[in-house]
Structure 1
Amino acid sequence: MELPLETVALFAFKLAYETEGESPILRDDPIMSDYEREVFGLLVRRRDVEGIQFRVAHCVGLALDAIGGADTPLGRELHRLAADFSEAQTMDRLDTPLIALKDYLKNIV
């Protein structure tokens, strides 16, 4: 689960901060320090659903702002997928909405 979480963060930061003509944001970029696989791994081992959701919500919020908010066509779908993820109450229920969120961000980056 740690890799998809890190991937969601990476794609969200790419939408929010990456600009054409500049170096791309990579997994080892300083902006990823609080969102790297090891950080998510610790949260997963602790089964900290709220901590995971908090970090993902921060990243998705930045991505939403970058694409014009929840009132745009891309933003409505991203907002819906993020809401599905935030409604999960157990670790077992995070997987499916996490994969949907990751795949959607990958497609729009």
Structure 2
Amino acid sequence: MELLLETVALYSLKLAYETEGHSPILRDDPLMGGCDREVFGLLVRRGDVAGIQIEISWCLDLALGAVGGMDTVLGRELHHLTAAFTAVQEMDGLNAPLTALKAYLKDIL
């Protein structure tokens, strides 16, 4: 789960900040801040669904801004997927929306 969370965060930040011709954003980039596998591992071990949602939602908000907000086709779909993710209340329910977010972000990168 930690790797999936980190990947969604990484793809979101790549979408928001990575520019053509510059160095790519990597997992160990300082830009990742608290969105790394160790932080997510701690949240997962605690079963802190709200904490996970806060960290990932911050990244997804940046990605939403990068695609032009909710007034764009890409933004509406990203918002829809984000809403499904934030509606989850149990740890067991996070995998499906996170997998959908990961796939969508990867596709639009």
C-alpha displacement at 1:71, in angstroms? 1.3
Give the aligned partner of residue 55 of structure 1: 55
C-alpha displacement at 1:53, in angstroms? 0.3
C-alpha displacement at 1:33, in angstroms? 2.9
The 1-side partners of 2:80 and 2:63 are apart by 13
Structure 1 runs not aligned, ≥5 long? none
Give the aligned partner of residue 37 of structure 2: 37
Letter of the aligned partner of 2:44 in structure 1?
V
The 2-side partners of 1:44 and 1:3 are apart by 11
Instruction: Return structure 1 stretches of 4+ with deviation > 2 angstroms.
Output: none
The 2-side partners of 1:26 and 1:107 are apart by 18
- TM score, norm. by length of structure 2: 0.98
The 1-side partners of 2:55 and 2:70 are apart by 19
User: Helix, strand or coil: the match of 1:70?
Assistant: helix
Give the aligned partner of residue 102 of structure 1: 102
- TM score, norm. by length of structure 1: 0.98
Paired positions, count: 109
Letter of the aligned partner of 2:20 in structure 1?
E
**Residue 18 in 1 paired to residue 18 in 2?**
yes
Letter of the aligned partner of 2:99 in structure 1?
I
The 1-side partners of 2:26 and 2:98 are apart by 20
Structure 2 runs not aligned, ≥5 long? none
Q: CA offsets per residue over residues 20-67 of structure 1, 9 Å max, x none? A: 111000001011131011110000000000000001110000000011
User: Helix, strand or coil: the match of 2:69?
Assistant: coil
What value does the CA root-mean-square deviation take over the aligned residues?
A: 0.6
Letter of the aligned partner of 2:53 in structure 1?
Q
